[in-house]
Amino acid sequence: MAVYTDITEDDLKQFLSAYDVGQLTSYKGIAEGVENTNFLLHTTSGAYILTLYEKRVDRNDLPFFLGLMHHLAERGLSCPLPLPRADGALLGELSGRPAAVISFLEGMWLRKPEAKHCREVGRALAQMHVAGEGFEITRRNALSVDGWRPLWNNSRDRADEVQEGLREEISSELDALEAQWPKDLRAGVIHADLFPDNVFFLNDELSGLIDFYFACNDFLVYDVAVCLNAWCFEKDGSFNITKGTALLAGYNAVRPLSPEEVEALPLLCRGSALRFFLTRLYDWLMTPPGALVVKKDPIEYLKKLQFHRTVRSAAAYGFRKADAA
Ligand SMILES: Nc1ncnc2c1ncn2[C@@H]1O[C@H](COP(=O)(O)OP(=O)(O)O)[C@@H](O)[C@H]1O
Ligand SMILES: N[C@@H](CCOP(=O)(O)O)C(=O)O
């Protein structure tokens, strides 16, 4: 559950008086999510999401996230829009946190995505990459290769508590990735966390993308690697090549990957698996017992990382040359 900060009805009503959303009729905390506190609001004019930005989100990054949602929506991508207050600002303050009211996106995230959904996600990811062109604010990816060692240093000494041998395995993985990480692939705005819980579907059609709070500038194909990891593995840990083929074909239909991007894919998949392993490991070790959040299993991502180490080319993910640039 992710409701870290509570609000009172009086404070909420006062906060909403700056918005053109009618009168509050009900509100409730949303259990899902990890980073921020979200409430579902109903008012006399409809449904909205209220987001209170928690400590892990840097206040200085909020104009990037909120501006990006505007930029993408203006270019036809289906994603939530932050509502302006009467003074034009997109951010206010509630219960001591920066807070925004966001439009409500219809749909549900899929608990059991199939290959046809993976194709839609690939398409939407490429559409987001194209729509992100021309967005003027930039944000570096703090969770890319430069950020992994500091994160690892915080957990390394306790890593063997989670699984014996982890300390050695991850240290050598990190050395290898730092030495081989590509330097000059095509870069742009990436979502960086496009997991199934951040993609909504309505009757099998993708209705929109949410949760842009890890978005940043990085290699576009790194986002494809994040999605292969998040969408194409089965619960038993096996990689589903039918899903991989669909996701890559969907992506390529909108923005064909270059030969350099295709070649880099296995390494980027390893890196993306390490990135989620490291943040999950940190949370696993550091979240105090009783905290109102569901911790995610780091070992799931260790297994994905180990699979990618055996991969020699993007064909193992279902990449077909016919789809490429
Ligand atoms: N714009 C939106 N429309 C509808 N539901 C939303 C919207 N934004 C968030 N939610 C709901 O809130 C949950 C958590 O949102 P998310 O942005 O993933 O939180 P976090 O940043 O904490 O991970 C989502 O799974 C969804 O149920
Ligand atoms: N997707 C990440 C955790 C971030 O969660 P979100 O609720 O912000 O999407 C993971 O699975 O480790």
Helices (H), 232-258: 241-254
- What does pTM read for this prediction? 0.95
Question: Ligand 2 test: best mutation among 53, 193, 294, most atoms within 8 Å of CB?
Answer: 193
**pLDDT tens digit sequence for 63-87:** 999 999 999 999 999 999 999 999 9
How confident is the model at residue 1, as a pLDDT? 47
Element at 301 (helix H, strand E)? helix 298-309
> Using CA positions, which residue lies closest to atom 10 of ligand 2?
276
230 alpha carbon – ligand 2 mean position (Å):
10
Domains, the chain, with CATH or none: 9-103 (3.30.200.20), 115-323 (3.90.1200.10)
- Asked if ipTM goes beyond 0.90, one says yes
Render pLDDT for 84-103 as a digit per residue (tens, 0 to 9).
999 999 999 999 999 999 99
In terms of Cα–Cα distance, which of 40, 93, 30, 101 is closest to 293?
A: 30
Separation of alpha carbons 112 and 117, rounded Å = 10
